[in-house]
Amino acid sequence: MPELPEVETVRRGLAPVMEGARFTKVIAHRGDLRWPLAPDFVARLEGKRVEGLGRRAKYLLADLSSGDVLVMHLGMSGSFRVARSGGKTTPGRYYHERSKNAAHDHVVFHMSSGARIAFNDPRRFGMMKHQKVVAGLGNIYVCEALHRARLSPKRRASTIATKAGAPHERAQRLVDAIKAVLADAIAAGGSSLRDHRRTDGELGDFQHDFRVYDREGKRCSTPGCKGTIRRMVQTGRSTFFCPVCQR
């Protein structure tokens, strides 16, 4: 099984041909890697740009221009083969020889950088899936941060600054709350991504810590508050808040 340093060298090998490039064509040969590829797997990649290629533990995470994150894992026997005008390379340094048998090329990316990237995995323990992390969590972060800062989502943004334009104490409260929410989400997301069994849970452990999001009708968790969480729709998105302690 590829170890952490190998996965990191794979990332460094793929980054130059993937980052800033669009998927011009994606071919998925098999729907049965570790988890089946989603029916919309190809559609969610083609035409999208890779904003950055990161790594968390042994997972490669491609941030897409759509807000999706493409999660890739090499499993036991997976590797990438990169073909471009300069020749062919297999990023990563492996103890065991990697398969070059095209019959095991399960997914092929054609990138606007001119590179053709084949994901080869004879034992099919590798995985690729989308995680709607950025777009999905954005709204959650906002709801959770506003609740921790005890600020109403109905409040006009201008009211967190003084008339002279200086930040009000409420602004600092909100900044602190956003930092706390992000830190919790990163900590929870990290632990869930390290655990194979939980990669299906889009939000990892963080969802167990929601104070308002998706808790309509439930009791507010602020100590001493007897409020009930309400939901309203703002600019097409559901916003959850406590009308009692968020002012």
Chain contacts with Zn ion (rule: CB under 5 A): 220, 222, 225, 227, 242, 244-245
Distances (CA, A) of 158 to 143, 171, 177: 18, 10, 18
Of 122 and 153, which has the nearer Cβ to Zn ion? 153
Cα 88 off chain centre by: 30
For 225: left if phi > 0, alpha if psi spans -120 to 50, otherwise beta; the answer is beta
Of 115 and 220, which has the nearer Cβ to Zn ion? 220
Instruction: Examine the residue annotation and report whether 3 is marked as an active-site residue of this protein.
Output: yes
**DSSP annotation string for 179-234:** HHHHHHHHHHHHHHHHSGGGTTSTTGGGGGG-SSTT-TTSBP-STT---B-EEEEE
Question: Could you say which of 48, 58, 116, 215 is catalytic?
Answer: 58
Of 50 and 245, which has the nearer Cβ to Zn ion? 245
Instruction: Examine the residue annotation and report whether 202 is marked as an active-site residue of this protein.
Output: no
Smallest distance, Zn ion to C-beta of residue 244, A: 5
Size of the chain in residues: 247
Instruction: Examine the residue annotation and report whether 169 is marked as an active-site residue of this protein.
Output: no
Instruction: Examine the residue annotation and report whether 237 is marked as an active-site residue of this protein.
Output: yes
Of 80 and 240, which has the nearer Cβ to Zn ion? 240
Smallest distance, Zn ion to C-beta of residue 221, A: 8
Smallest distance, Zn ion to C-beta of residue 215, A: 11
Helix (H/G/I), strand (E/B), else coil: 121: coil
Question: Could you say which of 30, 56, 226, 237 is catalytic?
Answer: 237
Question: Could you say which of 3, 5, 30, 88 is catalytic?
Answer: 3
Which residues are tagged catalytic?
2-3, 58, 237
